[in-house]
Amino acid sequence: MPDDQPRHPDHVPLAGVIGMPIAHSRSPRLHGHWLRRYGIAGHYIPMPVMPEHLAEVLRALPRLGFVGVNVTIPHKEAVLALADTVTDRAALIGAANTLIFRPDGKIHADNTDGYGFVANLRQNAPDWWPKAGPAALIGAGGAARAVVASLLDSGVGELRITNRTRIRSEQIKSEFGARLVVYDWAQAGNMLEGAATVVNATSLGMDGKQPLRLPLDALSPDALVTDLVYAPLVTPFLRDAQARGCRIVDGLGMLLHQAAPGFECWFGRRPEVDDDLRRAVLE
């Protein structure tokens, strides 16, 4: 079938997630819930893909009736080079999590992680105001880069960043600019002084991993504290922040919100992120 052939009117849209490993991805449950809830004829499928097969798989999927896919580890960076168009935010972050296969065969890459991060805070802490004071970010991996892009976009005046491997935070500063201030990992507690928004974007605190250990003496009870880790929902870091009187927002909402733009593009309906969805994903 030529790539520019229009889709058949009876076409049942297929979408999914590609990664390796993929068995534990919550995305099929999430999109499956929305498909059932809105009575949409479509399917969302987890697909294990080896890095050496990525290019071939991306060429084949549109021909099999796929309208797009989510992308997870280890392909989030590699897909940028294989896409025909890349949004500015995906290019800036250096990774994509959402691909749209256009009817003309072109692949469009976007990154909705930063959108999901901010949408989660807006939904669960509606009075959160990014300009209230400096933001403090722990971590400098792929997820942290999406948080940096979205916080700067939201108007944060100063964004402090620390990471075990300091050079990764230096690299982010060199790419994202003057509003970033790098703190040494050994002095991470200092960056909480006066911070209005505090984010853990490391994998510390995840089930089976060490907790994030940070002296919280400088943390103001007025700060909003959030964690990208969502298993467990309340990480030791969030629990400690809550004990100091801070408002906390868990990371599950980011996962749910980052999925919404892709679902809308593929299946034609903007889905809702609510408690029913949370329950379905946690089951």
**Can you give the binding site for ligand ATR, defined by CB under 6 A?**
139-144, 163-165, 168, 202-204, 210
Residue with tokens 């809550």: 242
Q: Is 139 marked as a binding-site residue?
A: yes
Q: Is 226 marked as a binding-site residue?
A: no
Q: Is 25 marked as a binding-site residue?
A: yes
- Residue 82 tokens, joined: 């294989």
Min dist CB 214 to ligand ATR, Å, is: 11
Residue with tokens 């510390």: 204
Q: Is 39 marked as a binding-site residue?
A: no
Which C-beta is closer to ligand ATR: that of 70 or that of 271? 70
Question: For residue 63, how far is the Cα from the chain centroid?
Answer: 28
As to burial, measured by CB atoms within 10 angstroms (0-12 exposed, 13-18 middle, 19+ buried), residue 167 is exposed
Which C-beta is closer to ligand ATR: that of 171 or that of 220? 171
Which C-beta is closer to ligand ATR: that of 61 or that of 140? 140
Alpha carbons 169 and 62: distance in angstroms, whole number? 37
Alpha carbons 282 and 276: distance in angstroms, whole number? 10
Q: Is 142 marked as a binding-site residue?
A: yes
Contacts of 130 (CB under 8 A, 6+ apart): 151, 154, 155, 156, 196, 197
Distance set, CA 4 to CA 40, 59, 103 (Å): 25, 13, 6
Q: Is 143 marked as a binding-site residue?
A: yes
Which C-beta is closer to ligand ATR: that of 59 or that of 213? 213
Alpha carbons 42 and 66: distance in angstroms, whole number? 10
Min dist CB 259 to ligand ATR, Å, is: 16
Listing DSSP states for 82-132 in one string gives H-SEE-HHHHHHT--SEEEE-TTS-EEEE--HHHHHHHHHHHH-TT--GGG
Which C-beta is closer to ligand ATR: that of 137 or that of 273? 137
Q: Is 168 marked as a binding-site residue?
A: yes
Min dist CB 156 to ligand ATR, Å, is: 19
Taking Cα atoms as reference points, which of 110, 87, 90 lies closest to residue 98?
110
Catalytic positions, please? 76
Alpha carbons 17 and 26: distance in angstroms, whole number? 10
Taking residue 29's Cβ as centre, other Cβ atoms within 10 Å add up to 15
Extract the annotated binding site for NADP(+): 88, 139-143, 163-168, 228, 251
Extract the annotated binding site for shikimate: 25-27, 72, 97, 113, 230, 258
